[in-house]
Structure 1
Amino acid sequence: MERILIVNSIYKPEPGVSAQIAEALTVELDQLGYFVTILAPFPSRPKGYKFDFKYTKHKTHIEKIGNSSNLIRLPSYIYSGSNPILRLIEGISFGLACYRYIRRNSHTLDKVYMNTWPIFGQYGVAKACMFEKKPYIVHIQDVYPESFTNKLPNFLKKITHTLLFKIEKFVVQNASQVVVISETMKKLIMSTRKIKEEKIQVVINWQDSSQFSLNEKQPKSDKFTFMYLGNIGTVAGIPFLLKSFASSNLMAKLIIAGSGSQKSDCIAYAKSFPKVDIEFQEVPDGKVPEIQAQADVFLLPIIKNGASSSVPSKLPSYMFSGKPIIACVDHNSETEKCIKSANCGWVSEPEDVQQLVAILRKVVELPPSDLDILGANALRFGQKYFSKEVNLNKLINLITK
């Protein structure tokens, strides 16, 4: 059987979707008889998340998984905050660690799949694979360097984009296969990186729908409850959500569940609305369905130009809970297309307080039967497009062919 190297920027116990993908791949490939090695840094995401582990971070840590698989934690610089420069340095550090590993151990592997830090993290893997003549598959979760350079001042944007784009284009063009998470991203990568259509495949980030079977057994608040569950970082725009909810003057509750680099700032900001029912909750591993069961309606805000070509992992998670969704996202974004196609909620412009307030007030006046219909639509759409069974099989077939 072939020996497959999986390079992942996050891995269990980290709760992110990329970690879940890598774990599912490892389990499935191991059961099929492949020899799998996973390279990952030490756990750090999201910021503030409490991990129960005892690693010595300056030493390589090896852990046996399944029948014939190994998880190898490589020492590298770790940064879980939102500073883009430090995140690039993190990518460089892990990319170098992976480069050294592949060059030294190329005789133990046949092919490489990577879902790692963009640009420099990917480049380290790609360069090593080319030196050792090993085919690699690159899984793209967001379009870089665009997502990075869009946040820079204009005087830095052009030169930075030019330099980083050359590196990213090198990675993509030399891959045996490219995996993206939406049709919009596929078209963008094909046109800007000059990739042939047969070389790029869409595999949607999935959720395990079986985890959401206990929702009806969970207690709910007497108040109408809006909920955001996910990473509390810069892109999420939680301060906008807090301001909008406070401005609505509703006798309702807002739950912000999760961790992230902006959580402490958001908690401090929420205290400026002492008469508004806002609650912050932690999300222990495996408890997402239970926590989401408290919601009547989910909230999905993203800052302007934050995720036009990707689908946030919280969207399928929300859908499998069978509740309506209010999304504040860019026009023609993948998220807007999904919600409108599913007919499972409402879409407003990002960071538009007045528009969101109007939707919040409208939603609380709807009869429960209307909300149930929208929630059922969400669940049906999620099962059709975001299920683990459909998308995991696509990725397995791509890696093993």
Structure 2
Amino acid sequence: MKILIIGVNYAPEISGIAPYTTAMAEGLVAQGHQVNVITGIPHYPQWSNYTNFTGLTRTETINGVNVRRVRHVIGSGGMGLSRILQEVTFGLGAAISPWHKPDVVLAVSPALISTGFQVLRGRLGKAPVTVWVQDLYSNGAREIGGSDTKGKLLEQLESAVLKAASGVLVIHDRFRRHVVDDLGVKEENVCVSRNWSHIDISLAADPGEVRRKYFGDAELVAIHTGNMGAKQYLENIVNAARLADQRGSKVVFGLVGNGSRREALEELGRGIDHLVFVPSLDDAEYAAMLQCADVLLVNEKPGLRESAVPSKLTSYFIQGKPVVAATETDSATSDEVRAAGAGPIITPGDPAALLATVEDMAGSVNRASQYGASARRFAEEHLSAASAFQRVGSWLAGLSAVRSSVTTKEME
């Protein structure tokens, strides 16, 4: 089967959606499929052209996958004008690129606007396009603080794009319910396939060395990894670290990664001894960073419930460490942490509660171990890469078969 994957994020980006899109492409190649990818300039999470990409397009082969990169505007995070321009310019670049007659197209959202262009081209060219939904735009716009008007417009756009697609692939059952109940997509057109643990523990650097390198002789280390943006509301962790300073706590908080809010967070955290900023790491150091931590953190803006399931959770769970989740008790994130039995869920935006809960983990070794063991067991049973690749490959094959059947009838 000839599969075309279109998504603005791909390797060498090491966080967010890119590792999943990259692994999916390579996993489908391993199943014997011919996979082409159209992607953008490496830019996330720095939101900059950090590889100094030049020219309008570039082609390369990465681990058996034919990759075409198209130039586009680079936004600044959020859903402002620069982000819209990024999605429009990438979407147009991908839509006018050679598709080489794929049997099926998998378009990754984000980017939603760009995906709309691909769905339109697919309908005009009679190529089935399925949308792989990693984040929900309409919910995100409302939950991050956008206006109701903006949220309604995005909901209408998201609904139109997903209903026009040949199929919709979502990463969580909460997403499926929203796509069907609120966006009006037919239930039979929606498939749920969770993201998976993409960190190879066996390739990790030495955890002890990584801990000493970044945290010295700190007695208790709690880290948050990944994007530093509006959804994460990492001011909460900075303020918890400030409290740790004031109270002489043993906890040192680490913020690992990059993003649109990093500079502001560094300024907010200036002079706090119990706070360490760590740059984006390669796979070996990242895996070691997760292993060397005592507690892993997921932190969300108060009011965030439906728009995203943090991709970091799949990497967290496989480590066998307790996870403290500062999120709404009825959020998609809390559902996932609760299903994994990975750790306590606390009120978002409450730095005192965050510090107290992390300290409690240090004093409850048996409970912390139980949380970690449960999380790892959940990852091993439910977050297998191989099963995800098989499920998505079968879903795409079904869409391709429907298209072939329709084409045959039209020719008769």
After TM superposition, the score normalised by the length of structure 2 is 0.87
From 65, 82, 106, the counterpart of 1:113:
106
Hey, what's the Cα distance between the residues in 2 that align with 1:90 and 1:239?
A: 27
1:49-68 to 2 correspondences below 5 Å: 51=50, 53=51, 55-56=53-54, 58-67=55-64
| 1:73 matched residue in structure 2 | 69
Q: Does 1:333 align with 2:323?
A: no
Change (3 A) 1:3 1:320: same
8 Å CA contact 1:225, 1:297 repeated in 2: yes
Q: Does 1:346 align with 2:360?
A: no
Q: Does 1:142 align with 2:132?
A: no
| 1:45 matched residue in structure 2 | 44
Structure 2 counterpart SS, 1:293: helix
Structure 1 counterpart SS, 2:324: strand
Q: Does 1:212 align with 2:205?
A: no
Change (3 A) 1:27 1:214: closer
Shift of 1:50: 8.8
Hey, what's the Cα distance between the residues in 2 that align with 1:214 and 1:15?
A: 15
Give the AA of the match of 2:95.
Y
Change (3 A) 1:112 1:65: same
| 1:358 matched residue in structure 2 | 356
From 366, 379, 384, the counterpart of 1:382:
379
Give the AA of the match of 1:179.
L
Hey, what's the Cα distance between the residues in 1 that align with 2:371 and 2:292?
A: 17
8 Å CA contact 1:308, 1:333 repeated in 2: yes
8 Å CA contact 2:143, 2:307 repeated in 1: no
The one-character-per-residue Cα deviations of 1:352-390 (angstroms, maximum 9, x if unpaired) are 233223323322322x33322221111111212222122
Shift of 1:118: 3.5
Q: Does 1:182 align with 2:172?
A: yes
Shift of 1:231: 1.0
8 Å CA contact 1:283, 1:291 repeated in 2: no
Shift of 1:150: 4.2
| 2:408 matched residue in structure 1 | none
Change (3 A) 1:371 1:61: same
Q: How many residues align structurally? A: 387
Consecutive unaligned residues of structure 2, counting only runs of 5 or more, are: 212-216, 399-412
Change (3 A) 1:280 1:183: same
8 Å CA contact 1:303, 1:350 repeated in 2: yes
Q: Does 1:278 align with 2:260?
A: no
Hey, what's the Cα distance between the residues in 2 that align with 1:161 and 1:392?
A: 33
Q: Does 1:86 align with 2:86?
A: no
Hey, what's the Cα distance between the residues in 1 that align with 2:35 and 2:73?
A: 25
Hey, what's the Cα distance between the residues in 1 that align with 2:14 and 2:49?
A: 11
Change (3 A) 1:384 1:31: closer
Shift of 1:107: 5.3
Hey, what's the Cα distance between the residues in 2 that align with 1:313 and 1:164?
A: 23
8 Å CA contact 1:119, 1:164 repeated in 2: no
The one-character-per-residue Cα deviations of 1:94-131 (angstroms, maximum 9, x if unpaired) are 11112222xxx355323211114343111111111111
After TM superposition, the score normalised by the length of structure 1 is 0.89
Hey, what's the Cα distance between the residues in 1 that align with 2:340 and 2:222?
A: 20
Shift of 1:243: 0.6
8 Å CA contact 1:141, 1:310 repeated in 2: yes
Percent identity of the aligned residues?
Answer: 23
8 Å CA contact 1:182, 1:310 repeated in 2: no
Give the AA of the match of 1:331.
T
Change (3 A) 1:284 1:216: closer
Hey, what's the Cα distance between the residues in 1 that align with 2:250 and 2:99?
A: 61
Give the AA of the match of 2:194.
I
Change (3 A) 1:85 1:148: farther
Change (3 A) 1:280 1:161: closer
Off by >6 Å, runs of 4+ in structure 1: none
8 Å CA contact 2:116, 2:161 repeated in 1: yes
Hey, what's the Cα distance between the residues in 1 that align with 2:114 and 2:57?
A: 18
Hey, what's the Cα distance between the residues in 1 that align with 2:362 and 2:238?
A: 17
| 1:130 matched residue in structure 2 | 123
Change (3 A) 1:216 1:320: farther
Hey, what's the Cα distance between the residues in 1 that align with 2:76 and 2:201?
A: 29
| 2:8 matched residue in structure 1 | 9
